[in-house]
Copies of this chain bind each other. A is one copy, B any other.
């Protein structure tokens, strides 16, 4: 633990100032990547580049438009590349960039947590609803 407990309010102010400035820098980035599809798309793209409908198939549940928009955003942010294949019919291949690849570890940590604690969250929700129903 940190000597945080020992700090008085003034010190806490000082400390939180930095936390705040960090968060000010954090917010715009999180706005871009903390979207539920971003994680799953990059996860799909990680092992190998894929085409549009291939991604769509793997993410059964995602909408045509949602996927298109997400891919556009990811491309704009430099996380994936978009390559038109000279095939007939036309094919478009999406690949993950090094920058996008660097996101893999954080995302994996998050996914691992999700798999580990997803049930706990479900139980918590159920318990909460039950209590609310009882109350």
Contacts and interface: CB of A to CB of B under 8 A. Distances in A.
Given A20-B58, A58-B20, A114 B26 contact: yes
Contact of A120 (B61, B78, B125): B78
A58 B58 CA distance: 39
A31 to B, nearest CB: 6
A19 to B, nearest CB: 8
Nearest to A124: B78
Interface in A114-131: 114-115, 117-118, 120-121, 123-125, 127-129
Given A4-B47, A27-B36, 15 more contacts: A16-B58, A19-B58, A22-B115, A27-B61, A33-B110, A33-B114, A34-B35, A76-B128, A78-B120, A78-B124, A78-B127, A79-B121, A99-B121, A99-B124, A106-B109
